[in-house]
Amino acid sequence: MSIPRSSGVLLHPTSLPGPYGIGELGVHAHAFIDWLADAGQHYWQVMPLGPTGYGDSPYQAFSAFAGNPYLISLQDLRTDGLLQDSDFDVIPEFSADRVDFGQQYIWRNQMLDRAFAHAEAALMSGEHPLHADFDRFVTQEADWLGDYALYTAIKATQGGLPWNAWPEALRARQPEAMAQARQTLARDLLRVSFLQFLFFRQWNTVREYARSKGIAIIGDIPIFVAMDSSDAWARPEQFQFDAAGQPTAVAGVPPDYFSETGQLWGNPLYRWDAMQQDGFKWWIERFRGSLKLFDVIRIDHFRGFAAYWEIPYPAETAVHGRWVAAPGHALFQAIRDALPGIDIIAEDLGVVTPDVEALRDDFDLPGMAVLQFAFGGGDFSVNAFLPDNLRENQVVYTGTHDNDTTRGWWAHAEESERHAYRVYTSSDPSEETFAWALTRMAFHSRAKLSVVPLQDVLNLGTQDRMNLPGTTGPQNWTWRYRADALTPALSAQLRALTEETGRLIRF
C-alpha cells in the first residue's frame, strides 16, 4: 500500500460553491484544491462521479463508467466558446446552500444542449478544434461509451422508463432494433458522447491541477450497479435476471446500526459464475476506468466480495435475506494481476466476519474505522473503532457521508455514548468543540490515513449532513458550502494539526 501517513477531506463535487446551483469542475474546484494544499492535506475524497437519476444518489448511477454531466463547468464552456454570452441571458434563481436536482435537470440540460448545438456542425464536419480529441476519446472509451449513449438516448424516447420496461426488442437488444435505434438516434448518441467527452476533459484538468498541488484523489467504486443502468442493460447475462429482465434477487444489508429492518438497496446481484468464467473482464475494466478518475479507489461495501446479502425479489424490507459467498479472492487476484500497484481501500464497516477480514488482509488492503461508532457498547477492550484499537493499515474517519455530522452526532448521542467518551478521554466537550476534538483524535491515531468530512471541518450540525441511509428525502445529497466558509484561519488550524500529528506531506 503506497498511502503514507497523511490526511484528507471528504467532499463530493456537487457540494462545491458556484453560481449555477450545483458544484462544478471549474474555478471553485480549483479553489478547493488550493485550500486543501494550504491546509496541508494530501487527499481529496469524493463519492462516485457517475450520472445520477431518481433519488440523486451517486451510489445509484446510470453507468459504472460514465461521468455526471451536471458537474460540467458552464463557465469553462463559455471560455472555450461552447456557450455564448447570450446563452446566459435567463438564469434561474439558485440556492447557494442546496442543490435542486429537479431544477438542474431542466435548466442545465438546456444549457448543455446549447453547448452541443454550437459545436455539432463543426464536429460532424471534422472542423471543430476539439474534433481530434473527441474522436480519440470515443475510440478509447468504446467498450462502454456506445452502450451508455444508446441506453441514454433510448431511455429518453421511452419517457425515462427503466430498460426492463421498454418494448421487448429494445429491452432484449435485438440486432434489428439496435441498428434502427443507432440510425434514428444518431444525433442523440453524438450528444451524449460529446457531453461525456466534456466531463472527462474537465475532470482531467481538475485532477492534473490537484497533482500539481500535491493532492491525490480518492474515489468510490460501489460494489453494485443500479438496476436501471446501461451496465445491467448491456450485459444482462452477468446479473441475476429472469427472461423478462426482472431481477430474481436484489442487494441490501441486514438490520444494523442504521436501520432495524436493514437496507433494501434493490441493486441487481451478479452472476459470479459467469463473471469468473471470462476472468472477471468487466470488473477489471471497471477498475481500469476508475483509475482514469482517481489515484486511490475506495470500494464501498467491500464485505460483499466475501459474502453478500441476497434478498428475494420482490420484497418490502431487507429482513428476509441470506448470506451468499462470493469469489472475492479470485476477483482481487485477477485485478492485481491486471493492474499491479493499484491502491484500494476496503470499506469494511457493518457485519465484519472472519472471511471478510481474511479477504482484506490477504491483499493487504486498509480497512476503515469511524470514530462516531467508537463509544457504543461500553466495553473499551473490544470496540474496534476506539483509537487504542486501531491498526496502522487503516483509514480513520470522524464520520462518513452516511453519518450525521460529528457535531450533530454529539448533540443527539445516547447518554451512554457521551459517558463512554468522557470516561475514555477524561474530558467533557461542548457541542461547539466536539467536532474538533474528534478530528484531533482521528489525526493523533496510529491509522495511516485520516479523512474528515468538510462538514466536520466547518463544525456544522445535523441540518448539513449529506445523506440519511434508507431514505430518499429531499435533503439527501444536496448539501453545499459557501465559498467564504474556507477561511485562511481554518486552513492554518488544520495544517497545524496535520503537522503536529506527523501527517504533513511536504510537496
Q: Would you say how long the chain is, in residues?
A: 507
Active site residue 135: no
From 147, 347, 456, 464, active-site residue: 347
Q: Cell numbers for 169, please give them.
A: 426488442
From 300, 348, 404, 464, active-site residue: 300
- CB-based contact 52:62 (threshold 8 Å): yes
Q: Rounded CA gap, 287 and 49, in Å? A: 14
The residue type found at 499 is: E
From 402, 417, 456, 464, active-site residue: 402
**Helices and strands (DSSP H and E) totals, the chain:** 19, 12
The residue type found at 439 is: T
How many CB atoms are closer than 10 A to CB 289? Answer: 18
Q: Cell numbers for 467, please give them.
A: 445523506
Active site residue 300: yes
Active site residue 347: yes
Q: How many CA atoms lie within 13 A of 61 on its CB side?
A: 22
Please give the full DSSP string across 145-182, using - where no structure is assigned: HHHHHHHHHHHHHTTT--GGGS-HHHHTT-HHHHHHHH
Q: CA distances (Å), 61 to each of 221, 222, 271, 419, 442, in order?
A: 11, 10, 20, 41, 31
Residue 11 DSSP one-character state: -
| Burial (Cβ within 10 Å: 0-12, 13-18, ≥19) of residue 140 | exposed
Does the CA dihedral 9-13-15-20 come out positive or negative?
positive
Secondary-structure breakdown of the chain: helix, strand, coil percentages, each rounded to the nearest 5: 45, 15, 40
Q: Rounded CA gap, 488 and 227, in Å? A: 44
- CB-based contact 162:227 (threshold 8 Å): yes
| Burial (Cβ within 10 Å: 0-12, 13-18, ≥19) of residue 59 | buried
- CB-based contact 506:40 (threshold 8 Å): no
Query: Which residue do the cell numbers 451512554 mark?
Result: 416
- In which order are the strands placed within the sheet that holds 307-312? 263-268, 249-253, 307-312, 322-325
Please give the full DSSP string across 438-463, using - where no structure is assigned: HHHHHHHSS-SEEEEEHHHHTT--GG
| Burial (Cβ within 10 Å: 0-12, 13-18, ≥19) of residue 507 | exposed
Catalytic residues: 300, 347, 402
